[in-house]
Amino acid sequence: MNDGPLIVQSDKTLLLEVDHEQADACRKAIAPFAELERSPEHIHTYRLTPLGLWNARAAGHDAEQVVNVLLTFSRYAVPHALLVDVAETMARYGRLRLDKHPTHGLVLASNDRAVFEEVARSKKVAGMLGERLDDQPGAEGGAVAVHPSQRGNLKQALLKLGWPAEDFAGYVDGEAHAIKLDESDWTLRAYQQEAADSFWHGGSGVVVLPCGAGKTLVGAAAMARAQATTLILVTNTVSARQWKSELVRRTSLTEEEIGEYSGARKEIRPVTIATYQVLTMRRKGVYPHLELLDARDWGLIVYDEVHLLPAPIFRMTADLQARRRIGLTATLVREDGREGDVFSLIGPKRYDAPWKDIESQGWIAPADCVEVRVTLPEGERLAYATADPDERYRLASCTHAKTLVAEQLVKQHAGEPTLVIGQYLDQLDELAEHLDAPVIKGDTTVKERERLYEAFRTGELDLLVVSKVANFSVDLPGAAVAIQVSGSFGSRQEEAQRLGRLLRPKAKGPDGTQKPARFYAIVSRDTVDADFAQNRQRFLAEQGYAYRIVDAADL
């Protein structure tokens, strides 16, 4: 037994003692292969998963390195069965590989005959395979032709079988287009450069950075490396226009070189920014705008907020395997559990920076997270108790008691740029009326949204009521306070994005430290609202943010 900071358990959990002198070194060493699950005050819990171990293999780490890290930092003897399982799980990655073939275009090959025969006979895979090939060099276990159109679907199917294929089939360069970073009045931060380099060396994959840490600049750096026509997929029109503005400001691209493909405009240019909504729009069972994918010989596809990709975009991405692809996100948490599809279709995680690491470097603001608990009035409690289960969350979320608390918090933070955020439109209308503030929701025109966002950025407005349309890819760097009155049930990713609206660096006080952002979640106690709140907060707790709980009466 040594005095290490880590306890490795046979259920594949790793417990890290935060206050140990070796905790930082250990955390950095296990981050490439272990997934952080919980990070309360003193003991952080990580888990070993096949996807995490395969991500590590894709990033160049082998089982010997992983085992050595566990043995070096573990306080007690590491269970032997776990070490065997780590080695065998990591050895599954790359036993199958996809290669280019001069005649057939693409080939699935293996050095392991048993693995090759197992997957080739699988009903989920067999229909994607062509003729057997006996002359494929380095494929003693077997090789089979694969139509290039099946490259993505096959990788998806193999991952689900537990045999992820390593993709060596390469990428087309796409149509060349000169793009340079214009760093005359700014420079890439070290972690942004590292993220872009990690993506480029891997060919395709995902970069995970906190909200406010400059994911757009990582995308721009990737474009400058590719020097090719680029298709950028974003969540909404406001985001598309922010991307365009940022690219014009930060790169050699001009406005004429960047097209917007949205509900309002259909421009196809060397750099085209398209919204997920337009691409997934269906008419009579077909997706009329998917021809955008073939409109140019794209050299790079950028997926903004990759954790939100709708199912049709996954299907479309399966056909884009010959293009370099970069996914950008603050959290790879997907409420639908499709992280494996991100891995197989866009690529492995190439770079991941913990929120608290970026905060400690001063690039994002510290945050004070407060859960304010309210009690339903007696009449509302009875209505809640007798309501159908499907209606209870709305009743608990929309109680007038929350409106009164929101008013009080807005008064406490008068003069500070504040967002009041909710899920239910009638509740938001009530809040906007009580607070005498403008409201942004789904039916607010893009022009009006941009006007209000710009007024908030310039300080003309210091209070906005917003629906979930402001969750993603909306740049409001001055926002200092957020008051959340309701959310999308137990969505962890939404909680992370809402806090992320506040994390742009703030002005430093007289003591040289940044003033913390304030994130309030108003929650109805003794209801499903409180249950969902616990799940929503889990991701932020995993990132090291602790919620203080206060009673509304004590504000």
Q: Is the pLDDT of residue 509 over 80?
A: no
Q: What is the pLDDT of residue 462?
A: 94
Strand order in the sheet with 439-440: 439-440, 463-466, 418-421, 481-484, 517-524, 367-374, 547-551
Residue in the structure block whose two tokens are 């070796």: 22
What pTM, to 2 d.p., does this model score?
Answer: 0.84
Q: Which domains does the chain have, with CATH numbers?
A: 6-92 (no CATH), 96-167 (no CATH), 190-353 (3.40.50.300), 363-554 (3.40.50.300)
Contact (CB, 8 A) for 398 and 461: no
pLDDT at 323 over 80: yes
Per-residue model confidence (pLDDT) at position 471: 65
366-393 mean pLDDT: 91
**What's residue 472's pLDDT?**
60
pLDDT at 56 over 80: yes
Q: What is the pLDDT of residues 162-208, one digit of tens each?
A: 999 999 999 999 999 999 999 999 999 999 999 999 999 988 999 99
Q: Range with the lowest mean pLDDT among 14-23, 241-250, 318-327, 544-553?
A: 544-553
Q: Is the pLDDT of residue 23 over 70?
A: yes
pLDDT exceeds 70 at position 473: no
- Pairing mode of beta strands 129-132, 105-110: unpaired
DSSP state of 387: S
SS3 (DSSP) at 210 = coil
Q: Say if CB 487 and CB 337 are below 8 A apart.
A: no
How far apart, in whole angstroms, are the C-alpha atoms of residue 515 and residue 489? 30
| Residue-level pLDDT at 38 | 74
Give me the mean pLDDT over the 367-378 stretch: 92
Average pLDDT over residues 109-137: 89
- Residue 38, beta-bridge partner list: 45
Phi, psi of 98 (to 5 degrees): -105, 125
In Å, what is the CA distance from 533 to each residue of 39, 224, 468, 527?
17, 41, 16, 10
How many residues are recorded in the chain? Answer: 555
Q: How far apart are the first and last CA of the chain?
A: 49
pLDDT value at residue 490 = 58
Q: Where are the beta strands (DSSP E) in 342-499?
A: 349-352, 367-374, 418-421, 439-440, 463-466, 481-484
Residue 496 has pLDDT above 80, yes or no: no
**CA 417, chain centre distance (Å):** 26
- What residues does 106 pair with on adjacent strands? 100
The more confident residue out of 106 and 38 is 106
138-147, 342-351, 370-379: segment of lowest average pLDDT: 138-147
The mean-pLDDT minimum among 76-85, 293-302, 410-419 falls in 293-302
Q: Provide the 3-class DSSP secondary structure of residue 148.
A: helix
Report whether pLDDT(347) > 60: yes
Measured on CA atoms in the order 57, 63, 64, 67, is the torsion positive or negative? positive
Whole-number pLDDT of residue 294: 77
Burial 35-51 (b: 16+ CB within 10 A, else e): bbeebeeeebbbebbbb
How many C-beta atoms surround the C-beta of residue 188 within 10 A?
A: 19
Q: Which residue has the tokens 């003591």?
A: 511
Of 91, 131, 83, the closest CA to residue 111 belongs to 91
The reported pLDDT for the residue numbered 354 is 76
Q: What is the SS3 assignment for 4?
A: coil
Per the prediction, the chain carries an average pLDDT of 89
Pick from 246, 190, 524, 493: nearest CA to 362: 190
Question: Which residue, chain included where needed, has tokens 């405009």?
Answer: 265
The answer to whether 227 and 176 are in contact (CB under 8 A) is yes
CB contact set of 194 (below 8 Å; sequence gap of 6+): 351
DSSP character for 336?
T
Q: Is 185 exposed, middle or buried (0-12, 13-18, 19+ CB in 10 A)?
A: exposed
**Whole-number pLDDT of residue 282:** 83
* Nearest by Cα to 208 from 53, 28, 353, 356: 353
CA atoms within 13 A on the CB side of 195: 30
Decide if pLDDT at 125 tops 80. yes
Helix (H) / strand (E) containing 345: helix 339-345
Which has the closest alpha carbon to 63: 25, 32, 99? 32
Quickly state the pLDDT bin for 1 (edges 50, 70, 90): low
pLDDT digits (tens, 9 = 90+) for 281-300: 888 878 888 777 778 899 99
Nearest CA to 213 out of 246, 191, 194 is that of 191
pLDDT of res. 42? 84
Q: What is the pLDDT at residue 318?
A: 87
Question: Predicted confidence band at 489 (pLDDT cuts at 50, 70, 90)?
Answer: low
What would the mean pLDDT of 460-474 be, rounded to a whole number? Answer: 81
- The pLDDT value recorded for residue 494 is 76
Pair 178, 227: CB distance under 8 Å:
yes
Q: What does the pLDDT read at residue 515?
A: 83
Give CA–CA dist 299/223, Å, rounded. Answer: 9
User: Token digits for 358?
Assistant: 């970026």
What is the pLDDT, as a whole number, of residue 474? Answer: 65
Using alpha carbons, list the distances in angstroms from residue 387 to 356, 383, 527: 42, 6, 12
- Per-residue exposure over 284-314, b if at least 16 CB sit within 10 Å of its own CB, e if not: eeebebbebbeebebbbbbbbbbbbbeeebb
